[in-house]
């Protein structure tokens, strides 16, 4: 939210990310590569936090889910069996006039390359080809020969790596349905119309979990996972009013899915899919059984065989990254100064605290600040900053979402106390320097909700 009460724009978020080194356009010195991004220091820290919070909730804190890290390049037969070779396509049209490509099913939202821009097909000059199906998988070759026999794909989703390991995991991890396999890793899609910053990119990091259940239990587990995942996004601090669940109607669902819900976020571009939760039935295990000849089924202790059904929550770090920044962004005037503040939940904030000597050239303050920093950095990601006026240093930390700043001042030299400044309320209190580490650990465990909520 900006001071005027207007919602934040994607341009504002892109500019903050650039200015503070969260995200850079990739290959920039060579003119970039469409919709591809590199992450700077704070971007990496934020992504690490999202990934580790997901892993903690989905694996570490559960008895019924185990982890997997499968290869990015799989045997191409995997993608035949999964249906991606035949059907992972978007309809594409070219314009012979402006030479741009569009998704045929999204012409209403597209604009053409001419000035002033028009909707493709809107004017008699637009010369659109007939739609043709375009496969979104990136092709590559394995080995020295570059012919059809060596063709392979970069995975467009992590899920298939899980299905093909069902038997390994079920046997070796000694799990019986209901149980899940979770995986985090890069996926690649040659999107026709990437864009809106990180929202739709060609290379992204998916966090997917396939939950294998007895067929009769699938509807119940589907409801369960929609609830769990919505609750998880709330637990990251995303505001309730910006989250909703939208159930797909039958025309929208994949042919194998009996139920799918999107957890949507109100991005600056409108309500859009943040995470998908699907009841995939027995489709994937049955397909891989048929194509590989290996039976991917469960045999219960009474000898009854069945193909488990699958409930799948799937999300990318990129979509969460953008949602978190949009939700947290706030511009305000404090006193006579403007500040930009990222009100991120402390547990997702890239830096947990800043340690600031009030007068850096004062040896006593500088020494104590350095010692406190050395102590805290062993436990948390913290920053030591002695460059510039204290007000500027606070504002730098506000802009990257650091929840607390510990300031070492004259009084510290007298009574070994420091001030702690709260990013959201701007309240300051004093505490003993020896208690800072415990205070920070406690503060990170406290409940937090966005002060920007309605
Ligand atoms: N295994 C199921 C699957 O991949 P999906 O709806 O195509 O389903 C799941 O993708 C999630 O991956 C989406 O909800 C979204 O969070 C993320 N995602 C998909 N395509 C993306 C892209 N081009 N850029 C960023 N994130 C993407």
Please report the DSSP string for 128-157 in residue order: BPPPEEEE-PPEEE-SS--SGGGEEEB-S-
For ligand 1, atom 4: residue with the closest CA: 157
Please say if the pLDDT value at position 454 is more than 60: no
For ligand 1, atom 25: residue with the closest CA: 200
Kindly report, residue by residue over 10-50, the tens digit of the pLDDT: 999 999 999 999 999 999 999 999 889 999 999 999 999 99
CA of 439 to the centre of ligand 1 (A): 39
Q: What is the mean pLDDT of the chain?
A: 95
In the sheet that 65-68 helps form, which strands lie side by side, from edge to edge?
A: 65-68, 179-188, 203-213, 309-316, 270-281, 259-267, 243-247
CA of 40 to the centre of ligand 1 (A): 23
- Model confidence at 174, pLDDT cuts 50, 70, 90, reads confident
Average pLDDT over residues 244-266: 94
Index of the ligand 1 atom closest to the CA of residue 273 = 14
Index of the ligand 1 atom closest to the CA of residue 194 = 23
CB-neighbour burial class of residue 256 (10 A; exposed 0-12, middle 13-18, buried 19+): middle
Position 19 scores a pLDDT of 96
Closest CA to 424 of 451, 389, 448: 451
For ligand 1, atom 20: residue with the closest CA: 200
Rounded CA gap, 11 and 16, in Å?
9
CA of 78 to the centre of ligand 1 (A): 19
Ligand 1 pocket list (CB less than 6 A) = 157, 159, 189, 191, 200-201, 204, 206, 208, 273, 275-276, 312, 314-316, 318-319
CA of 90 to the centre of ligand 1 (A): 14
% of the chain at pLDDT higher than 70 = 98
- Model confidence at 2, pLDDT cuts 50, 70, 90, reads low
Position 113 scores a pLDDT of 77
| Best of 103, 157, 162, 229 for a ligand 1 pocket test (most atoms within 8 Å of beta carbon) | 157
- For 142, residues 6+ apart whose C-beta sits below 8 A from its C-beta are 73, 150, 152
- For 431, residues 6+ apart whose C-beta sits below 8 A from its C-beta are 417, 418, 420, 439
CA of 317 to the centre of ligand 1 (A): 10
């Amino acid at each position: 939210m900006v001071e005027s009460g207007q919602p934040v724009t994607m341009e504002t978020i892109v500019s903050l990310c650039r200015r503070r080194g969260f995200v850079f356009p990739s290959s920039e010195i060579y003119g970039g590569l469409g919709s591809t991004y590199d992450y700077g220091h704070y971007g990496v820290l934020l992504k690490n936090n999202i990934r580790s919070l997901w892993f903690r909730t989905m694996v570490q804190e559960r008895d019924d889910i185990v982890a997997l890290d499968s290869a990015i390049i799989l045997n191409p037969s995997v993608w035949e069996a999964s249906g991606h070779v035949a059907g992972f396509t978007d309809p594409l049209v070219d314009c012979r006039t402006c030479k741009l490509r569009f998704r045929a099913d999204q012409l209403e939202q597209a604009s053409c390359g001419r000035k002033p821009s028009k909707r493709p097909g809107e004017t008699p000059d637009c010369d659109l080809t007939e739609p043709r199906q375009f496969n979104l998988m990136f092709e590559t070759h394995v080995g020295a020969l570059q012919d059809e026999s060596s063709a392979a794909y970069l995975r467009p989703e992590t899920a298939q790596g899980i299905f093909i390991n069902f038997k390994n995991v079920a046997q070796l991890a000694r799990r019986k349905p209901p149980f899940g396999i979770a995986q985090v890793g890069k996926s690649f899609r040659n999107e026709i119309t990437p864009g809106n910053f990180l929202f739709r990119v060609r290379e992204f990091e998916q966090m997917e979990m396939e939950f294998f259940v007895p067929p009769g239990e699938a509807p119940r587990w589907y409801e369960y996972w929609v609830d769990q995942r919505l609750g998880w996004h709330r637990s990251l601090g995303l505001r309730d009013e910006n989250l909703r669940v939208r159930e797909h109607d039958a025309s929208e669902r994949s042919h194998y899915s009996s139920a799918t819900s999107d957890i949507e976020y109100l991005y600056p571009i409108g309500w859009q899919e943040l995470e998908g939760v699907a009841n995939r039935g027995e489709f994937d295990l049955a397909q891989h059984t048929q194509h590989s000849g290996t039976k991917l089924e469960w045999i219960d202790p009474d000898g009854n065989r069945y193909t488990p059904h699958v409930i799948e929550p799937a999300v990318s770090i990129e979509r969460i990254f953008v949602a978190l920044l949009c939700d947290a962004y706030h511009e305000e005037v404090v006193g006579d100064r403007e500040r930009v503040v990222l009100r991120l939940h402390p547990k997702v904030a890239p830096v947990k605290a800043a340690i600031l000597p009030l007068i850096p050239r004062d040896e006593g303050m500088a020494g104590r600040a350095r010692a406190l920093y050395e102590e805290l950095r062993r436990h948390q990601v913290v920053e030591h900053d002695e460059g510039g006026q204290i007000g500027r240093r606070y504002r730098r930390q506000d802009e990257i979402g650091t929840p607390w700043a510990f300031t070492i001042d004259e009084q510290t030299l007298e009574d070994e106390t420091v001030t702690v400044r709260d990013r959201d309320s701007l309240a300051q209190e004093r505490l003993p320097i020896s208690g800072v580490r415990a205070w920070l650990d406690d503060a990170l465990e406290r409940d937090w909700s966005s002060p920007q909520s309605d």
